Structure 1
């Protein structure tokens, strides 16, 4: 009887090893040997499953993008209304600190996007998927009267994602310019300006039930 193939399992192990290598060493100067050592495999064995290191790292990036966005979507889905969903989106988009593995991974992989079209395409997918979540929340809030948008939802959404990216990069730096709590406050202030609410209203727990007017009165 033929032995069952372990190819899928081995590929997953290599993705995990490459993920650790990127977080620990960074993309600059990363070698195939670094991944092989963490996977306890030879370099030739790694290339049996992935033709090049770049192919492996693209899979790492794809998996990281999906994992990050799925976590944000799940956080939003737990909230009963647009205001709570907007708050959940803001809270889920920033690194917790310099040691936030997933965010560090995404930032490291994003550095290659300037020179490699495949990495750039995945980086764009990350940006567009997040902007799409924000846009849907903002449009729903405007439709129900929870928000009074100061401009179109897509523009607000794109600005919020760009701010998250910028603040997040500062948070994971060796010497952070802002910490996660400061960045959240700044994002809530920006979102409040764009939705006709106060930062306190956006951050407060949202009660499930009847519709709200734009001032937050039940």
Structure 2
């Protein structure tokens, strides 16, 4: 294995270890030393790839945002019918299991964004990319006549993502305020009202 490839692989190992620790313990308990231990590396080896925890968490967040947005886009990519696309998009917006690693990771890193401008910018990017996917679905549905939008597509799309975020937060709590079927029902009901379309 070439040196650049080996270095990239070790960075990915550290990123994966950090993700595991954040999902298990939350962001507050994560240190670079603990991540190195989780990855089976010495602290000095970890420092070779990342000069500090912030730099490692930068890469953790970048990859988590990209993975989440890519998964959502892929879930609807081969679906032509706007109603089916909207329904599939809704299903990818909230965790169906409180132990969902990717959603928990994004929630933890979202909290960290309050104290770091770079994190905040990526968190905004995460939001806007999801909004853009919803806008595409809503406008396609309106053009074909499948949807009668109750408001501007951008407003409805933003409302859907905000609703997902709020429901997701409750679903990921140790004692959730709502369960998955209830959350899915709330989100679907709003989407149906917003589009004038029964999603089934």
Tell me the TM-score normalized by structure 2: 0.96
Q: Contact between 1:139 and 1:153, CA under 8 Å: does it hold in 2?
A: yes
Instruction: Determine the structure 2 residue equivalent to 1:193.
Output: 193
Cα distance in structure 2, aligned partners of 1:196 and 1:32: 50
Q: Contact between 2:18 and 2:30, CA under 8 Å: does it hold in 1?
A: no
Q: Contact between 2:82 and 2:140, CA under 8 Å: does it hold in 1?
A: yes
Q: Contact between 1:97 and 1:179, CA under 8 Å: does it hold in 2?
A: no
State the shift of 1:31 in Å: 1.1
Cα distance in structure 1, aligned partners of 2:172 and 2:130: 20
Equivalent position SS for 1:107: helix
In the TM superposition, 1:51-62 aligns within 5 A as: 51-62=51-62
Displacement over 3 Å in runs of 4+: none
Name the larger-Rg structure. 1
In the TM superposition, 1:1-218 aligns within 5 A as: 4-5=2-3, 6-197=6-197, 201-203=198-200
RMSD (Å) for aligned C-alpha atoms: 1.0
Cα distance in structure 2, aligned partners of 1:106 and 1:4: 32
Q: Contact between 1:76 and 1:89, CA under 8 Å: does it hold in 2?
A: yes
Instruction: Determine the structure 2 residue equivalent to 1:215.
Output: none
Structure 2 unmatched ranges of 5 or more: none
Deviation per residue, 1:51-107 (Å, 9 max, x gap): 211111111111111111111111111322111100000001101121111100110
Tell me the TM-score normalized by structure 1: 0.88
Q: Is the deviation greater in 72-81 or in 180-189?
A: 72-81
Instruction: Determine the structure 2 residue equivalent to 1:211.
Output: none
